[in-house]
Structure 1
Amino acid sequence: MAHSYEVLGSEQVYEGRIISLRTDTVAMPGGGESVREVVHHPGAVGVVALDDEDRVVLLRQYRHPVRQHLWELPAGLRDVDGEPPVETAKRELAEEVQLAADRWSLLVTQHPSPGFCDELIHLYLAEGLTEAARPDGFVVEHEELDMTVERVPLAEAVQWVFDGKVKNALAVIGLLAAAQVRSGSPRLRPLDGD
Structure 2
Amino acid sequence: MAIKDTPEHWQVTATTTPFQGNKTSVRTDDVVMPDGTVVKRDYQVHPGSVAVLALDGEGRVIVLRQYRHPVRHKLWEIPAGLLDVPGENPLHAAQRELYEEAHVKAEDWRVLADVYTTPGGCDEAVRIFLARELSEAEGDRFEVSEEEADMELARVPLDELVQGVLAGDLHNTCLVVGVLSAVAARGGEGFDALRPAEAPWPARPFEA
Task: Mark yes or no: TM-score above 0.5.
Answer: yes
Rounded to whole Å, the distance in 1 between the matches of 2:20 and 2:13 is 21
Deviation at 1:30, TM superposition (A): 1.4
Alpha-carbon distance in structure 2 between the residues aligned to 1:181 and 1:162: 18
Counterpart-to-counterpart distance in 2, 1:19 and 1:122: 18
Deviation, 1:183, is 1.5
Aligned residues: 191
Distance of 2:17 and 2:71 partners within structure 1? 26
2:109 and 2:196 in contact (8 A); partners too:
no
Task: Tell me the CA shift for residue 134 of structure 1.
Answer: 6.4
Q: Residues of 2 paired with 1:78 and 1:183: CA distance? A: 31
Match of 1:124? 129
CA positional deviation for 1:38: 2.0
Alignment correspondent of 1:190: 196
1:191 Cα deviation (Å)?
A: 2.0
Q: Which amino acid aligns with 1:24?
A: D
Question: Higher mean Cα deviation, 84-93 or 184-193?
Answer: 184-193
TM-aligned CA distance change 1:135 to 1:189, over 3 Å: farther
For 1:134 and 1:28, the matched residues in 2 are separated by 55
Letter in structure 2 aligned against 1:140: V
* 1:25 aligned residue: 30
Give the Cα–Cα distance (whole angstroms) in 1 for the partners of residues 9 and 69 of structure 2: 38
* Unaligned stretches of 5+ residues in structure 2: 1-7, 202-208
Q: Which runs of 4+ in 1 moved over 3 A?
A: 133-136
| Bigger mean CA offset, 125-134 vs 167-176 | 125-134
1-side partners of 2:43 and 2:69: how far apart?
Answer: 22
Name the SS of the counterpart of 1:25 in structure 2.
strand
* Alignment-derived partner of residue 14 in structure 1: 19
Which residue of the partner structure matches residue 75 of structure 2?
Answer: 70
In structure 1, runs of 5+ residues without a counterpart are none
1:158 corresponds to: 162
- Identity among equivalent pairs (%): 46
* Contact kept in structure 2, 1:158 and 1:176, CA below 8 Å: yes
In angstroms, what is the RMSD of aligned CA positions? 1.7
